[in-house]
Amino acid sequence: MKVKLPRQLKQFLQAQIDGGRFENFSDAFADCARLLEKVDGVRASLQKSNYAVLGDVNDEDIEAMAFLVLLEAAKSAQEDLRESMARVKAINDAKAAQRDLVTKVSHDISENAARRPPLKFSRGGIGSEEGYHKMPVPQVDPATSGGLRRVPRDLQPGPIKDVDELRSIGENLRSELDSLSDLGELEAMRLQLLMDRRSKAMTALSNLIKKIGETSSPIVHNLK
């Protein structure tokens, strides 16, 4: 049987073998299989008995239940971390798109600063007055492909008569960009907390696996 392991798990098992806990990968896999069998047995008992079995559990069952709880905690932390990373990316993409709109509006403002109406809309800016009435404004949406949606918005009800109205549009877009930056900082802080939570869950799980292995290894050795 050929098994392909993630790098982190392979390094962990290799460290256990080098430390003398297992003779080789076959012994390590056998120990993992025994532990998973025990966990599945405890899970099935709990589901079948609606937790009434808790009064009769032994030390091995308690260890298996603890492993099950920590495993679920690690999986939950990993899923939350993945979602937060996707949200951070979506916010950064939205900021980049919003910044691009601000730059284009600023170009139109510069082009028309010394002009009298009618206003000029060049390719370096939004391109036309109609573009301001159907502006594809970015919105954070991790559920969509790329984590970003562009929702058409009318940034100026009625005709854009002068450069002051362009300046007002630019200020509103910059305000929205600042809000996205604040949101990004909050999500970055949440991401760091989730990374710490995942790290602690993995450490606790690793320590429990080590403890279970130390307890069961002499027994398994005597059975060989």
pLDDT of residue 224: 44
pLDDT of residue 218: 47
The DSSP code sequence of 41-75 is HHHHHHHHHTTGGGGG--HHHHHHHHHHHHHHHHH
SS3 134: coil
Q: Alpha-carbon distance 160 to 154, whole Å?
A: 11
**Beta carbons of 199 and 77 less than 8 angstroms apart:** no
Q: What is the DSSP letter of 140?
A: E
pLDDT of residue 163: 94
CA 78, distance to chain mean position in Å, is 8
pLDDT along the chain (224 residues), means of 10: 65 70 72 65 55 51 69 82 89 94 96 88 92 93 83 92 94 94 91 87 78 56 43
pLDDT of residue 54: 46
The DSSP code sequence of 85-129 is HHHHHHHHHHHHHHHHHHHHHHHHHHHHTTPPSSP---TTTTSSH
Can you give the pTM of this predicted structure? 0.65
pLDDT of residue 219: 42
